[in-house]
A = this chain, B = another copy of it.
């Protein structure tokens, strides 16, 4: 970092040859750089002969447009930022795949930001988008950036199109892709009630979470339509992780009177909870029924296979990406997309 000449990279094996520029192509095809650019961006505005020569020259030189130069001039990055709370969570990875697929097909790249609950990271990525590194963003974390720094000397930054996925963002007027969490949770609760369960426990998500609020409402709706009383003692705190399920399980095992069914708001928690029940000598579903939510891959092969609420994760990702692309390309787009969930009945829930 001291002086010039030092910072040129080291020899990392291969021969470094300057990549072809648009000028090289232009010279080879005997046209101007403008024509080369047009041959690629608007082929119909270039004569067939010139176009052919340009394409040939491109093939010969292996020319690939320099994205930095392109972005600098056209103000388009063809990059999308995906913000999520936890990259290592199974639930998100399939969604990410759906997003990536769709973005890829439309020629966009994906940059991932795993917030990991760090405000520092959040600030960083706020600056990141402000700096115009991405054309748009998909937010899976339930809130916008940097709302702290408003109104001050700070002038408004560039506004880029945003889409909220899964978790709604309360005060923001942006498209929202989600499932109907309330109805889904209600259906699951009714399912349990219909099998005769009257003492149904609920393992929640993080309290701050909009998903959680909806699902909790749905749970209460379900109790009500089934004519069951709501008992706060049967609500156990969780955060969608396996460990939270394990903890909730311990809590239940320690009780003298136990519920006959447990509705976990994520499959991870359900699987963790079942583990704890087994360790305590309880059987699922004979002694206690357990239901999950999400239908992750492991739900079908859990022991016993888990009754759960299927979320179309890949499709959620695809839908979010496709709405964002519409926004980016100036096409009209829906404000709200709700994909269907499906009750998947397996063996972890039984009639009383």
Contacts and interface: CB of A to CB of B under 8 A. Distances in A.
Contact of A298 (B13, B59, B298): B298
A216 B298 CA distance: 26
Count of identical protomers in the assembly: 2
B111 A271 contact: no
A170 B352 CA distance: 58
A34 interface: no
A17 B173 contact: no
A87 B14 CA distance: 29
Contacts of A303: 274-275, 278, 302-303
A237 interface: no
A72 B133 CA distance: 13
Contact of A131 (B67, B89, B94, B327): B67
Contacts of A15: 156, 159
A62 B173 contact: no
A254 interface: no
14 contacts: A7-B330, A9-B161, A14-B156, A17-B155, A59-B153, A61-B155, A67-B131, A68-B71, A69-B72, A88-B96, A242-B301, A272-B301, A275-B302, A303-B303
Given A7-B330, A100-B112, 4 more contacts: A13-B159, A20-B155, A62-B157, A246-B301
